[in-house]
Structure 1
């Protein structure tokens, strides 16, 4: 199969995980190539996500690297093949690659956990709220850019409504709920939508009020995307330039899991959170 010129996040992640297996086995690229019967260049292309793989090749590499974690091997095998032609591919020429990759990442997620201090979670935003956010971006976006971002965001939200949708847990600080993007009518509609989304069996919304004893975060928004196995989890960080930063090192994942656990410990429970949002909406 010809090489991949622009590997997606998923393809790059598969290569990175195979590199981790090689390094844990103590193999150099040269040694790995000799064990696999390929040249060094092929190993390098595999590890950068530029060489399409079959499930059989992944199994052979795992065997060569003495990996006996069957769940991990099965999860990596499921990531093989060429780029999935999902709906997000139509945005590849219009949006930053990281935003397109994020949609693909969410599509394959087994669970989603988000924490935000100043914004409503993207997958829980109304169209009017999202449009107001995009209009406030600095420097200003052109109208067609806003529409591309808006339709992309709305299509991303479909992951919460599909059959076998992933469990979605959102922790939102009170400050995000009080931000009046789009004016009172839009803000009220957004709070109403949050309440409605919280009624879905796979969606949980919890609030950290100003009165909480502590807030265990720097204030940066992030998504914790759960993979088929914990090793394939990913943290997505929002950046000021509008892109997405992705973290997947073991220590990084452990850190953000701990942050989420601390935030959950100081958030209101789901019933109290719902009452809190309803009261805010009534007071508008």
Structure 2
């Protein structure tokens, strides 16, 4: 189907919206208005707006035309965007559309396309490293309460997401605050099993687990549970933040720069991998003895 007669997308995906926002960013950085870009491309201003809002797709060829019109000389970024524009088909998470809220699908989409994932958690073990029992307990404590079916669906989806880690295709680095190691979801037995699984995961060659103890003088960042997803080029990195209302996504260069500093500080202050494993074992021992 030609781009000029393409039907409007009712619900663009996270990745489609990111491509559109990058096109808008490219145009704005060039100081070109939408009407001027439309004239250069030989299309209508409405089509420029629709491309930037991801309401219609853009071919790799047209994307390169946009880059040329905007005098963008960032070859690696253009190539990465062209690759995004050429993507077809649906991800496995689309099977859950209608069964789960969009936040779940977009998080899975973000993770699936990341070149590396870095997590910072303060309240619970990162979702990609949670056991089924722990994940179910996390979902069961939500308010308003979820039905048993909803808890089961969310848990199954989280386990499915973990395949990206188990496959070893995407390196994972995680900074876990001591509070998250001690927070009990489902009771002490569930926590002990979760910590044991975390230790096993920490030995995986593609997984780095670092602990941030209470004893540290400071904790970089404001304490949110964060995901930093690295793209094929730094300009396409992204941040996801868990909040009570759902997931928030950020991709401005200012936000990316700030969170790179946060994770750099975490890297310099958190315990090393071996010391982190020793720390997790000590917490396990305390939980087993009831001294928590």
- Output the TM-score relative to the length of structure 2: 0.94
Residues 230-269 of structure 1 deviation map (CA, whole Å, 9 limit, x = unaligned): 111111010102x210000000111111111112221100
How far did residue 213 of structure 1 move?
A: 1.9
Paired residue secondary structure (1:42): helix
The match for 2:212 is 208
The runs of at least 4 consecutive aligned structure 1 residues that moved more than 2 Å come to 81-84
RMSD: 1.2
Q: Is structure 2 residue 260 aligned with structure 1 residue 249?
A: no
Structure 2 residue aligned with 1:146, among 142, 148, 151? Answer: 151
Name the CA distance, whole Å, in 1 between partners of 2:277 and 2:264: 20
Structure 2 residue aligned with 1:104, among 85, 105, 109? Answer: 109
Q: Is structure 2 residue 206 aligned with structure 1 residue 225?
A: no
Name the CA distance, whole Å, in 2 between partners of 1:278 and 1:61: 55
Residue segments in structure 2 that go unaligned for 5+ positions in a row = 1-5
Structure 2 residue aligned with 1:67, among 53, 72, 81? Answer: 72
Paired residues, what number?
A: 282
How far did residue 184 of structure 1 move?
A: 1.4
- Contact residue 8 and residue 83 of structure 1 kept, 8 A: no
Name the CA distance, whole Å, in 1 between partners of 2:89 and 2:26: 24
How far did residue 2 of structure 1 move?
A: 2.3
Q: Is structure 2 residue 41 aligned with structure 1 residue 31?
A: no
How far did residue 6 of structure 1 move?
A: 0.8
The match for 2:191 is 187
Alignment of 1:45-194 (within 5 A): 45-81=50-86, 84-162=89-167, 165-194=169-198
Paired residue secondary structure (1:255): helix
Name the CA distance, whole Å, in 1 between partners of 2:180 and 2:89: 35
How far did residue 183 of structure 1 move?
A: 1.1
Residues 112-170 of structure 1 deviation map (CA, whole Å, 9 limit, x = unaligned): 0010111110100000000001100011011121112111111111111225x111100
Name the CA distance, whole Å, in 2 between partners of 1:56 and 1:37: 14
How far did residue 82 of structure 1 move?
A: 6.2
Name the CA distance, whole Å, in 2 between partners of 1:271 and 1:144: 39
Structure 2 residue aligned with 1:276, among 254, 279, 283? Answer: 279
